[in-house]
Chains A and B, each alone.
Chain A
Amino acid sequence: MIQIKPSIFVRRYETVSRKDAPMSDFLLVDLSRLQFALTALYHFLFVPLTLGLSILIAMMETVYVMTRRVIWRDMTKFWGVLFGINFALGVATGITMEFQFGMNWAYYSHYVGDVFGAPLAIEGLMAFFLEATFVGLFFFGWDRLSSRAHMTVTWLMALGTNFSALWILIANGWMQNPVGSAFNPDTMRMEVTDFMAVIFNPVAQAKFVHTVSAGYVCAATFVLGVSAWYLLRGRHVELAKRSFVIASAFGVASALSVIVLGDESGYALTDNQKMKLAAIEAMWETEPAPASFTAFGIPSQNSRETRFAIRIPWVMGIIGTRSLDRQIAGIDELVAHAEARIRNGIVAYDALEKIKSDRGDTAARAVFDASSMDLGYALLLKRYLPDPRQANEQQIKDAAWSTVPYVPLLFFGFRLMVACGFALLALFAVSLWHTTRETEAPRWLFRAALIAMPLPWVAIEVGWFVAEFGRQPWIIDGVLPTFLATSELGVSDLLLTIAGFTLVYGVLAVIEVRLMLAAIRKGPEIAKVIDDLRPSAGPAMQPAE
């Protein structure tokens, strides 16, 4: 372990003048990050509900097809209306996501497009087409399809939405744990070496299960809350009761999945994932295994300690390593490791410069091949000077410290997310227990379900923040620092688009919430009345019950 003087902790780039950091305009970097955070967080207000509600709707429709009880079709249609209002904004904001890598992150797009682009394209081929082609038929196909065919359409739509989560998390998982790829000095970018490793990246798989389960929790909470509101008012009781049951059962299963199969299992894999875990835990020094879990405390970035810590022995070691004997590295140890990788990265950088000036330099290529895994660490020095080879000791130490994300935000963010998850699990469990009993569920439970409605969104948005802010300073862990990855745009371009997106997204959010509330207030009658009025004509119609 190395001793580091306090002056080094001043690592945030606000303290670095632009003259000292010629490679990038940091305001541009901050604005690009702000824009990505805004558009991604906003998009992700709608996606989780889509993920879960599509499955819940498909389950309701399956019950209808199996039992032929019209109430289940009414439920499918009613929750389908709410699904549609939410889905429209998910689609609208998803358009931005597909293109803003190229718009705001041009160097990133060049640098990793060979690896990162493929899952995105496959997401389109495998998931978006399925989802978007069948969502139209879900709404327009009720009179044109047999009930079985319509149910199949609903399941295909749900499958499509869930597949899209798989591929986007394979892409995101690669940003956290860049497997199956290597830097090619002839094309100056990362290229894929083992696509199967990218697909079966353990971080991606863990993230997929965790994120999709979180979406299911979100939808279960939504259905539970809306149903509880009806039950409190004695409206649409038949529909609300059944919805309440299905939501609480689905909720228990998905909340257990989201907690037990949390994605911290992937945090032991790379140096930077380890750093994220150590930061989440505010674990400044390596502890003997199994490490204790800090339930609460006040971490301080500057004094590198966690005050008022309440520690629970063993828990962290078990969560983090799924073992009793493996150690979890502390921040100090990881910084020392980063410093060694920076020094090796400078060797790689030097070799790469030689290759650039003489493509046939085989000696330089051999050196590069042996050290290229640390090239990204040398790039961290570009925050302080244009040529990493000229870095002094202080700059190397500063760069090593720059691999520590801001601990307090991660520490508290993670705990907020976990608290929401456990609160929801408790709510679902109590709800499910009450639905198995003969007596009416108590009104306080309905009120609790109503109050709990924002919780999954809080947990999900904070969870995104912990995962992506915890990845900093990297855009691709250990490969490319975020501050190098932007487009060469003007600050005014960014300000204009941030203002534009904020304005449009803000207006659309207000409209969406109003429509959603109006549709909930109106309740399911519309669908039912129109059904009753509509002549049951059409050869494909199944005989109504």
Chain B
Amino acid sequence: MIGYLFDYETLRVIWWILLGVLLIGFAATDGFDMGVGALLPFVAKTDAERRVAINTIGPVWEGNQVWFILGGGAIFAAWPALYAVSFSGFYLAMFLVLLAMIMRPVGFKYRSKRTDPAWRTRWDWALFVGGAVPALIFGVAVGNTLQGVPFHFTPDLRPIYEGSLFGLLNPLALYCGLVSLAMLVTHGAAWLTFKAEGTVADRARAVGARSAIVTSALFAGGGVLVWLGLLGGYRVTSPIDWDGPSNPLVKTVVADGGAWLANFHAHPLLWIVPALGIAAPLLAAAGFQARLEGWTFIASKLGVAMIIATVGLAMFPILLPSSSNPSHSLAVFDASSSRATLRNMLIATVIFLPLILAYTAWVYSVLWGKVGEKSVEKAGSSAY
């Protein structure tokens, strides 16, 4: 079997890449659903317009959201220590995300069950919260991850988190939240111009052309913050045992303001990734102007992927630095599952991921075409 070809080190790096694939898969698919939710009150004013916006994502958001669920499951399986530390550490922030995301399945399904305008307006706000709040908080979580989070382990490897919710909501982390929000709003706008007809698409185009530039600028600004050493930076100072047991108490790590740029300095080719993170949203902005809807969506998707990949590449091999006990930070080489589990999971992924991509592509192709007020009207009660 394929798993036996790979040693522990290779499996760890593969799962680090797959972690990135999952996060990008989530942001590139469910990201536009969240963007549409966040844009809903602004690009669609009447009930008919809102139904158009909602029905562009109605049939697909549920499958897209599985990237989020799978992300949780895969982190649990492949990076159990990361799962344990991050979700218990970001406890109240995660709680807010969950409450917001709980609003979406019911919002989509229940909104159209009654014609009462007050009922529908309430669900519109639920969908707005379900899109905007997670989009913001995921960025805040990335910001905290870059800065480092206050936690340590007991000798039994029980994780102890030392911070608070308000510590998580610090200005620099909120800045990263804005990057994420702008990025996903742009992505949602790109989807709406691609998929919706009429006024909704026009308003989305106007918003997207601006938010794409904002995304690019905010991301570049984040780069400056990293360069100034304000957004963290940690460096492993002991020799790394890539095949060693997953025990985060063995190595040593120090905080070092410039360390997040070290990988780029060591491998200058990697600069392509953050450069595309800045350029792709600008391309999307041009695409919005030029009404090249398909290309705009692709450019936006590329921007999402490159912005997320930049974070991962900057931090490698660290996954989650500890600000209070840097040596207890979680790293690719000491926070993974056992070799057997990484191998088993890789086999499952190699079997199922291509299938998932194939049937998802088929579903999108069946649903191909624009959504407008007429098509929503015609679909009757099977539309949202």
A66–B378 CA distance with the chains assembled, in angstroms: 27
| Contact A139–B382 (Cβ < 8 Å) | yes
Q: A122-B348, A191-B340, A533-B380 provided; 7 other pairs, C-beta below 8 A?
A: A96-B98, A102-B72, A109-B80, A137-B367, A142-B382, A493-B92, A500-B95
B interface secondary structure, majority: helix
Residues of B within 8 A of A124 (CB): 66, 69-70, 73-74
- What's the count of A-B pairs with C-beta under 8 Å? 255
Contact A114 B59 (CB under 8 A): no
**Does A521 lie at the interface of the complex (its beta carbon under 8 Å from any beta carbon of B)?**
no
The reply to whether B158 and A511 form a contact with Cβ atoms under 8 Å apart is: no
* A114 x B337 contact (CB < 8 A): yes
Contacts of B85 in A (CB 8 A): 106
When distances are taken between beta carbons in the complex, the residues of chain B under 8 Å from A107 are: 84, 158-159
Query: Which has the most chain B C-beta neighbours within 10 Å: A81, A133, A496?
Result: A133
Contacts of B80 in A (CB 8 A): 109-110, 112-114, 117, 189
Query: Nearest chain A CB to B175's CB is how many angstroms away?
Result: 25
- Shortest A346–chain B CB gap in Å is 16
Which positions 335-384 of chain B face chain A at CB distance < 8 Å? 337-338, 340-341, 344-345, 348-349, 352-353, 356, 359-360, 363, 366-367, 378-383
Chain A 307-329 interface 0/1 with B at a Cβ cutoff of 8 Å (1 = within) = 00000000000000000000000
* CB nearest neighbor in A for B63: A133
**Chain A positions within 8 Å of B92 at CB level:** 493, 496-497
Smallest beta-carbon distance B22→chain A, Å: 10
Binds B, one of A87-95, A298-306, A412-420: A87-95
Q: B161 contacts the other chain (Cβ, under 8 Å)? A: yes
- Residues on A with beta carbons closer than 8 Å to the beta carbon of B87: 99, 101-103, 106, 109
Assess the B157–A93 pair: CB atoms within 8 A: no
Complex: A130 Cα to B62 Cα, angstroms: 11
Chain A CB within 8 A of B199 CB: no
B110 contacts chain A at the CB level, 8 A cutoff: yes
Nearest residue, chain B, Cβ from A107 = B158
Find chain B residues with CB under 8 A from A130 CB: 359
The reply to whether B344 and A192 form a contact with Cβ atoms under 8 Å apart is yes
Instruction: Please measure, in the bound complex, the distance between the C-alpha atom of A87 and the C-alpha atom of B356, giving whole angstroms.
Output: 21
Judge whether B91 is part of the interface by a CB distance below 8 angstroms: yes
CB contacts (< 8 Å) of A500 on chain B: these are 95, 99
Q: List A contacts of B155 (CB < 8 A).
A: 356
CA distance A102 to B61 in the complex (A): 25
Interface residues of B (CB under 8 A from A): 58-63, 65-66, 68-70, 72-78, 80-81, 83-88, 91-92, 94-95, 98-99, 101-106, 108-110, 113, 155-161, 245-247, 337-338, 340-341, 344-345, 348-349, 352-353, 356, 359-360, 363, 366-367, 378-383
B67 nearest CB across to chain A (Å): 9
**Which residues in A have some Cβ–Cβ distance to B below 8 Å?**
81, 84-85, 87-89, 91-96, 98-99, 101-104, 106-107, 109-110, 112-118, 120-126, 128-130, 132-137, 139-145, 156, 184, 186-189, 191-193, 195, 356, 487-489, 493, 496-497, 500, 504, 508, 511-512, 515, 518-519, 526-527, 530, 533-534
Do B60 and A88 have beta carbons less than 8 Å apart?
Answer: no
Selected contact of B344 from candidates A120, A142, A195, CB within 8 Å: A195
Alpha-carbon gap, A99 to B359, bound state (A): 26
What residues on A are CB-neighbors of B66 within 8 Å? 124, 128-129, 132-133
Known A-B contacts A122-B348, A124-B74, A515-B110; the reply to A132 vs B62 at CB < 8 A is yes
**Max chain B C-beta neighbours (<10 A), residue from A101, A104, A511, A526:** A101
18 A-B residue pairings within 8 Å (CB atoms) = A91-B105, A95-B98, A95-B102, A101-B76, A102-B75, A102-B86, A104-B88, A122-B352, A124-B70, A129-B63, A133-B363, A136-B59, A136-B363, A189-B80, A191-B340, A192-B344, A488-B88, A504-B102
Bound Cα distance A141, B340 (Å): 41
- Contact assessment for B105 and A106 in the assembled complex, using a CB-CB cutoff below 8 Å: no
Pick from B59, B101, B157, B383: contact of A95, CB under 8 Å: B101
Q: Are B69 and A95 in contact (CB under 8 A)?
A: yes
**Chain A residues, CB < 8 A from B68:** 95
**Given A114-B341, A488-B161: A120 in contact with B88 (beta carbons within 8 A):** no
Pairs A-B, 9 closest by C-beta atoms = A113-B80, A102-B87, A117-B77, A124-B70, A136-B59, A117-B76, A133-B63, A88-B109, A487-B88
Nearest chain B CB to A331 CB, angstrom units: 31
Give Cα distance in the complex from A184 to B246, angstroms: 10
Given contacts A125-B349, A142-B382, contact A497 B247 (CB under 8 A): no
Are B88 and A186 in contact, CB atoms less than 8 angstroms apart?
Answer: no
B88 touches A489 (CB 8 A): yes
Question: When chains A and B are docked, how far (Å) is the Cα of A88 from the Cα of B109?
Answer: 7
For A189, the chain B residues whose CB sits under 8 A away are 80, 157
Closest to A149 in B: B366
Complex CA–CA separation, A128 to B63 (angstroms): 8
* Neighbouring A residues of B158 by C-beta, 8 Å: 106-107, 110, 488
Q: Tell me whether A88 and B108 are in contact in the complex, defined as CB-CB below 8 angstroms, given that A95-B98, A141-B366, A184-B245 are known contacts.
A: yes
Which of A125, A137, A193 counts the most chain B CB atoms within 10 A?
A125
Report yes or no: B340 in contact with A192, Cβ–Cβ below 8 A: yes
B residues less than 8 Å from A195 (CB atoms) = 340-341, 344
Of A106, A114, A126, A143, most buried by chain B (CB within 10 Å of CB) is A106
In angstroms, how far is the closest chain B Cβ from the Cβ of A475?
A: 14
In the complex, what's the smallest C-beta–C-beta distance from A36 to chain B, in angstroms? Answer: 14
Question: In the bound complex, how far is the Cα of B247 from the Cα of A491, in angstroms?
Answer: 29
Q: Are A511 and B73 in contact (CB under 8 A)?
A: no
Known contacts A125-B353, A132-B63, A511-B110: A113-B105 contact under CB 8 Å = no
> Which residues on B sit within 8 Å (CB–CB) of A356?
155
Provide the bound-state CA to CA distance between A109 and B353, in Å.
25
CB pair A135 B62 closer than 8 Å: yes
Cβ contact of A140, chosen from B160, B161, B352, B367, cutoff 8 A: B367
Using Cβ atoms and an 8 Å threshold, which residues of chain A touch B78? 117, 121
Report the minimal beta-carbon distance from A97 to chain B, rounded to whole angstroms. 9
